[in-house]
Amino acid sequence: MFWASDPVKDVLAALVAGNSHAWECGADHGEEYARHLRGEVKRERISKSTGRSEWRWTKTGPNHMWDCEAMQVAVALALQLLPSPEKMDASTASDT
């Protein structure tokens, strides 16, 4: 399965922030797990190839659990357990 990590991480970030569907993890997950979930941030940078500004996920610390959660989101999107970001954008546009 091939997947684009940045859009999937956008979906994961919305889930973790509570701006999307319900997302939860065990209350006893521990600080190490929480630290890994904070291991990437989305930052603006200038593309070396085009010179244009772009937003990319950047590793800031340990991020293995963040990557594992992103892979689970990718599978949930592939199985249509979560709506794709394109479908969510289209439904939002039709609400206006």
* pLDDT tens for the 96 residues of the chain, in order: 888 999 999 999 999 998 888 888 888 999 999 999 999 999 999 988 899 999 999 999 999 999 999 999 999 999 999 987 766 555 544 444
Pairing of strands 40-46, 53-59: antiparallel
How many Å apart are CA 21 and CA 85, to the nearest integer? 12
How many Å apart are CA 64 and CA 85, to the nearest integer? 24
Domain extents in the chain: 5-90
What pTM, to 2 d.p., does this model score? 0.81
Beta bridge partners of 37: none
